[in-house]
Amino acid sequence: DAGVIQSPRHEVTEMGQEVTLRCKPISGHDYLFWYRQTMMRGLELLIYFNNNVPIDDSGMPEDRFSAKMPNASFSTLKIQPSEPRDSAVYFCASSVLQGNYGYTFGSGTRLTVV
């Protein structure tokens, strides 16, 4: 397996634009997590899915953020409209048993909003 695949690796966009981040989890993993990492706040859980169903989105900072998982092999995190304070590294991770055996993380998307 190629691991958790995220795209793009880097994204630079202007304030107000829509941004879509993509994630392909490991085949067979039934949990998918979206995290945001910043120097100020460290790793923050934004939302997670179980069997493609959103379970907890309490970490999504605002209505500008939305996430979907249309099938077991694909998820998106969308920010619309984007703001400079959304600049961060966004990680996708997948696991079995809600992470009781650990997560496999993707390489992340570094988002810069100017």
Edge-to-edge strand list for the sheet holding 65-71: 5-7, 19-24, 74-79, 65-71
- Kindly state whether residue 65 participates in binding another protein, applying the rule CB under 8 A: no
| 74 part of the interface to another protein, by CB under 8 A | no
CA angle 43, 46, 30 (to 5 degrees): 105
Of 81 and 89, the one with the shorter C-beta distance to another protein is 89
Sole window of 18-26, 39-47, 62-70, 73-81 interacting with another protein (rule: CB under 8 A) = 39-47
**102 lies in the binding site for another protein (CB under 8 A):** yes
- What residues does 62 pair with on adjacent strands? none
**Which candidate, 86, 80, 110, 105, places its Cα nearest to that of 94?**
105
| Rounded distance between C-alpha atoms, residue 113 and residue 101, angstroms | 35
Find the binder of another protein among 108, 111, 112, 113 (CB under 8 A). Answer: 108
| Under 8 Å between Cβ of 83 and 62 | no
Q: Supply the minimum distance, in Å, between the C-beta of residue 12 and another protein.
A: 15
87 binds another protein (CB under 8 A): no
Q: Is 4 in the site for another protein (CB under 8 A)?
A: yes
Interacting residue ranges for another protein, rule: CB under 8 A: 4, 42-43, 45, 91, 93, 98-108, 110
